[in-house]
Structure 1
């Protein structure tokens, strides 16, 4: 955490800030290690405070050895931060503008002897490059996902003829991941069968799996705060020509993108590789989302692989690669891996098979 504080202070210096308040809980965890639900960081050029309430004092003391832990008492986190700033002779205070609502901003006006400076993406930009410890946790989260996928295929093979539902599969995926070290899911699992699989973010329901169905499973877990994300699509019963064409097109697009990723490319350039393959196959209108997104403490981070992304990818970034084709009334296919950008290409953290799995 010392290095993260040093990097934050370097950004503060560049912005000519004497101090900065960090309010977003994910950013708080990244900078301090605190994993509770109520806190505010106040970082000055020489000191760092974590302000929280009585419920979390003991937890914060254990998780954040580099921080002075302060009980907010009856003042609230902001009021206590202003008391500390007054004591330390601070004149200007940076704040995270994206996480400050209007009512909080009105509170700032009560402290008009300070200069409040809006900032944007200061900590988020630091989070884009993962360190070795972060990558290790992301890799373990994805390993748990791979394990869950292998076990869920066995369940589907044995039980789909007995009325197995999308919800059954989603619940079992979560159970397996939790039983193998996950603290929970990194997002609400997507399990979609048949025509419903054309819905990119379908919610699992009571629909059963039937012959002729594509079944899309997009899921992930949290391991020590870090997220995994993977998608696999299978088919129930012998696939027809349309099943095969759609699936193989998505797979071809994903493999081409994975092969091309390297430092120095813009996110939009990687996106175009997969998108052009899908377009050339006649399915361009059925691929409407970006190719991928960064993953870390949040399931969706920046930069992204999208047609609008100008950011150049760098070693240490962790992103998904997830092309898809979604045909209303028929179904959809998405194949997603999570990769670490290296100095020369990528390290793929996802190891589940990608050839079309047929359940008969």
Structure 2
């Protein structure tokens, strides 16, 4: 596989062997999904040690990687290390548990462990830039998400609860092609909408409420992510002004995304605009994040992000303004970074919808 070959070829010189135990990274590099297993990567060969439940299917489907039936992780890993004359082992420092690391370290006392971020940084760098096939899967998930939005507009009415809205979105996506939902769907209204990641409650929708919905579908391991805020009946002037400010900020954020810029630079464009409009402190989260096999992955569009955007990265642009005790608004699209800007992967209407 191309991804696995890239990982093998780009292993830092000081690392002889990389051990991957996280399910998402195993799937990313092998194309095979399993709840358990160990992917061992040397500069010459990659091995997937996997148990009987998955062995036959893995051996049939995985290419470019030797599939090994699990008997004893430590002993089988030791055989690989000796075969390739490895002296230094690296683990995914961002994902491996302390217990897993200590078990390896206690057993492999004759080997050095690289505890720098070099191995994890390499994995993240490879995953950040999406291939056309990956973008296709993300778009397939987004298409289901957008159909769910069209559906929910006909479902929303006064008296329906936040929980019912979230459940209806989830049911629609699952019954229209999604393998799963991307994350726990957010549907918050009225005063609850001032909490960016609030949990849906039994609160019924009322006339004059903002309703913010943050949701997404998963297809073949890839996620989509979209947020839309609508109003029940008619907004007040203050609500209308808040919404239009967020919408303008989002447009500015989309225009700022471009290969070669730091995530921090893009975030600052929107944050400074909101401050200029008198909303200091009302935008308390990052402008966006990467999306792929995980709903939150690198890169980030945040006040501290030094990551330089590259062509092919998929990120969200999701500014929001939140007024405690009143209401909040968030608008979110996914885009793919291009050389001269970005291509929007989200096609849902963003002008304020009054239901």
Give the Å deviation of 1:92: 2.4
Corresponding position: 1:54 with 2:49:
no
When normalised by structure 2's length, the TM-score is 0.95
2:57, 2:232 → 1: CA distance? 48
* Structure 2 residue aligned with 1:330: 326
TM-superposition CA deviations, 1:192-227 (whole Å, max 9, x none): 011000011111111110011100000011111011
* Structure 1 residue aligned with 2:6: 7
2:346, 2:75 → 1: CA distance? 46
- Judge which range, 272-281 or 103-112, deviates more: 103-112
C-alpha spacing 1:10/1:243, structure 2 compared with 1 (3 Å): same
2:57, 2:211 → 1: CA distance? 42
1:218, 1:287 → 2: CA distance? 16
Structure 1 residue aligned with 2:278, among 282, 286, 306?
A: 282
Residues 96, 119 of structure 1: 8 Å contact kept: no
| Structure 1 residue ranges, 4+ long, deviating more than 4 angstroms after superposition | none
1:207, 1:9 → 2: CA distance? 53
- Judge which range, 83-92 or 347-356, deviates more: 83-92
Structure 2 residue aligned with 1:69, among 47, 67, 70?
A: 67
1:96, 1:301 → 2: CA distance? 15
Unmatched 5+ stretches in structure 1: none
- Judge which range, 118-127 or 295-304, deviates more: 118-127
Alignment of 1:1-360 (within 5 A): 2-12=1-11, 14-73=12-71, 75=72, 77-107=73-103, 108-120=105-117, 121=120, 122-156=122-156, 160-161=157-158, 163-359=159-355
When normalised by structure 1's length, the TM-score is 0.94
1:235, 1:211 → 2: CA distance? 8
Residues 216, 226 of structure 2: 8 Å contact kept: yes
2:221, 2:332 → 1: CA distance? 21
Unmatched 5+ stretches in structure 2: none
Matched residue SS, 1:57: helix
2:57, 2:214 → 1: CA distance? 33
1:6, 1:61 → 2: CA distance? 18
TM-superposition CA deviations, 1:1-51 (whole Å, max 9, x none): x22122212321x33322211122211111111211101101122221111
1:25, 1:140 → 2: CA distance? 22
Matched residue SS, 2:36: coil
C-alpha spacing 1:344/1:44, structure 2 compared with 1 (3 Å): same
2:183, 2:255 → 1: CA distance? 28
TM-superposition CA deviations, 1:202-254 (whole Å, max 9, x none): 11111110011100000011111011000000001111101101000000000
2:61, 2:165 → 1: CA distance? 35
Residues 40, 78 of structure 1: 8 Å contact kept: no
Residues 17, 94 of structure 1: 8 Å contact kept: yes
Aligned residues: 351
- Judge which range, 57-66 or 341-350, deviates more: 57-66
